[in-house]
Chain A
Amino acid sequence: MSAVNETLDTVRSVTESGYKWGFETNIEMDVAPKGLTPDTIRMISARKEEPSWMLDWRLRAFEAWLKMEEPHWARVDHPRIDYQDIHYYAAPKKKDGPKSLDEVDPELLAMYEKLGIPLKERAILAGVEGADEAPQRQIAVDAVFDSVSVATTFRESLAKVGVIFCPISEAIREHPDLVKQYIGSVVPVADNYFAALNSAVFTDGSFVFIPKGVRCPMELSTYFRINTKNTGQFERTLIIAEAGSHVSYLEGCTAPQRDENQLHAAVVELVAMEDASIKYSTVQNWYPGDANGKGGIYNFVTKRGACLGDRSKISWTQVETGSAITWKYPSCVLHGVDSVGEFYSVAVTTNHQQADTGTKMIHIGKGSRSTIISKGISAGQSNNTYRGLVKIMPSASGARNFTQCDSLLIGENCGAHTVPYIESRNPSAKVEHEATTSKIDEDKLFYCRQRGMSEEDAVNLIVNGFCKEVLKELPMEFAVEAQKLLAVSLEGSVG
């Protein structure tokens, strides 16, 4: 994926500001009026040509949301969000999704390029003959632009092995039984304030179904992009791995640079059956706001996986460098006997960013195991909180958890906080927790610089060393991308 890096480098060299993905794309948009009423929801549902059960489900979620209160327990602080001052639907003006390069708006293609979407996929989007059959490692991409999925690649080759990878709006129409059975089964509509809001107004996202015994032949990935002004992005992703199947999925996110805050409230649900495994990786780089804390994305996300089958496994890996505020706890509910949940996280906050992130591991099945490795990096005046819950239910005999939370501080004015909750209701369970805090101080930097490294080389070396247990969990190409992203995020944070 050096091509991606090249692309990123190009973007870096043409933009002067700190945030390198701050471009805005001029594409004609179909935008819903601001505000949220049952009519907004009806409009979204109609635009998506949804069946009536889906509309009813949304309206129920809206009813629930009206009765709920915005949560304030997280260690984040922001002005009140006016939910009536947001557009809940924005779509590029074009009736059907593009089928070939000719139909793809050139602005859109240019955007992919700036996003660094792997070139092979762009070749496929561009309709290059035979690109789909190329022998190199392939990655299928779904690109979600504000409210709609604009392109999904490699669908045919995936279909050959029975894998469904499509926009969720399409799955609702084409695979209603699967969607109906699983949507809201892991994150119920009224699970929390933002999940309820998402359930009412979600506009698109990705849908993945891996049939029994199939090892998905390529990485699947979705690129999310908030483009239109004052638009919330509410995407919904649903991944179902049937017995004995395996899938690795990656999401990447960026947004233009704007002075006002934008809301992103996504829901991701994963379902793993017997012996199935799902690896879900995120490289989140939403616009974090400027150096004075102006603007940036509010990233309020509910991600949860259910290990329903015995020996099933769900693994979350996240590299979070963006957003003004991140509120996010990818979780695993370990129903199956000997099922496995993993959470590997790097969360970086600089300037005035706030992150309150962590995980929940709920052990229900006998012998279920979970591992939590969390690396928080804080610089500037930022605040970084790890919040984790390990809950062992009485049924989970022999359950085990290992948690390691490490914080790295850069400078004097930032904060790192670790809030682990452990609730064990089975005496045979074993729960271990380790935590460390270290600092990139003058001594370390001077030692490296005395050996010839620039201050930035030194910070990168120390940061990458600090994160390596997490980065090694990412698919290789993305690990390289994530490393670069860490370097860019922390640029100028020392000295």
Chain B
Amino acid sequence: MTAMLDISGLTASIGDKPILKGIDLSVPAGEIHAIMGPNGSGKSTLGYVLAGREDYEVTGGTVTFEGQDMLAMAPEARAAAGLFLAFQAPIELPGVNNANFLRTALNAIRRAHGEDELDAVQFLKFARAEMKRLSMDGEMLKRNVNVGFSGGEKKRNEVLQMALLRPRFAVLDETDSGLDIDALRIVAEGVNALRGPNFSALVVTHHQRLLDHLVPHRVHVLAQGRIIRSGGPELAKELEKNGYSAVLAEAA
């Protein structure tokens, strides 16, 4: 089986500080992989580097997404190719209406695919239907992007964006952190709705409870910029029980 996303020997730094120290990771089409690991180990950095954030310097390695050299692409081209990153800390955009933001994003991607843009009415119809499916409050569309949103609302908004943009590959960076039980279900449903042979995801999490809903194919432990262990869903349960110390000691 060919991998949808193939990361090989990836190293990256911020300023002079190396953060990713050689990541090898392959996610086949249709699979969900979880990434766990201690705070500061480089999980978010990996997400940013995959999405093309410019202040992270890639110093070595390759990232191939459906056969394309992803590191050569601009962030918006990666998005158009089907990559979505749910941010650990979603950004606030004062004055920018959420509906307008989502429509601009959706239309940019549709344009890149040679599809017709949606007008405001078509978009609202589509967005409302998606929100209903995810049992989200339609009011969210009228507010400014993430401004004054609670922590949980921001995460839900990320899931809504994912639902509307329908990526082929989603990186969810602790989208489950700080969520109540219902919201947790929304995140799981958001991912499960996209599941299929042409959808893969990397789910960064600290908690087993999201993985109960998502059941990953593989679980990877990232520590100090390297994947130090990989396993099946049972690895997450083991970590939840014993913490990272055993795994870290083993790797050292």
Contacts and interface: CB of A to CB of B under 8 A. Distances in A.
Interface string A430-467: 00000000100011101111111111010001100110
A451 B93 CA distance: 13
Contact of A461 (B75, B78, B101): B101
Given A442-B54, A461-B104, A450 B95 contact: no
Interface stretch (B11-19, B35-43, B84-92, B242-250): B84-92
B93 A457 contact: no
A465 B105 contact: no
Contacts, number: 76
Interface residues of B, number: 32
B93 A465 contact: yes
Contacts of A442: 53-55
A450 B85 contact: yes
B204 to A, nearest CB: 15
A448 B145 CA distance: 11
A468 interface: yes
Contact of B76 (A443, A453, A462, A466): A453
Nearest to B86: A450
Given A453-B105, A454-B76, A461-B101, A446 B95 contact: no
Given A442-B55, A451-B161, A465 B112 contact: no
Interface string B96-136: 11001100111011001000000000000000000000000
A29 B85 CA distance: 61
Given A457-B108, A461-B100, A451 B165 contact: yes
Contacts of A457: 104, 108
A404 B109 CA distance: 36
A447 B79 contact: no
Contacts of B203: none
B252 to A, nearest CB: 35
Interface residues of A, number: 20
B94 interface: yes
A438 B101 contact: no
B96 to A, nearest CB: 4
22 contacts: A442-B53, A442-B54, A443-B91, A446-B54, A447-B93, A449-B52, A449-B79, A450-B84, A451-B108, A452-B76, A452-B79, A452-B105, A452-B112, A453-B108, A457-B104, A461-B101, A462-B93, A462-B96, A465-B96, A465-B97, A465-B144, A466-B95
Contacts of B72: none
B51 A450 contact: yes
Contacts of B94: 438, 465-466
Contacts of A455: 76
B74 interface: yes
Nearest to A451: B105
Contact of A462 (B79, B80, B84, B95): B95
Contacts of A438: 94
Closest 6 CB pairs of A and B: A465-B95, A451-B105, A465-B96, A452-B79, A447-B91, A449-B75
A446 B105 contact: no
Interface in B59-93: 74-76, 78-80, 84-85, 87, 90-91, 93
Nearest to B80: A452
A471 B166 CA distance: 33
A283 B79 CA distance: 36
Contacts of A462: 93, 95-96
B98 to A, nearest CB: 11
A468 B161 contact: no
B130 to A, nearest CB: 15
Given A446-B53, A465-B144, A451 B95 contact: no
A124 to B, nearest CB: 32
Nearest to A443: B91
A101 B80 CA distance: 50
A466 to B, nearest CB: 5
Contacts of B75: 446, 449-450
B97 A452 contact: no
Contacts of B54: 442, 446
A444 B79 contact: no
Nearest to B102: A451
B90 A449 contact: no
Contacts of B112: 452
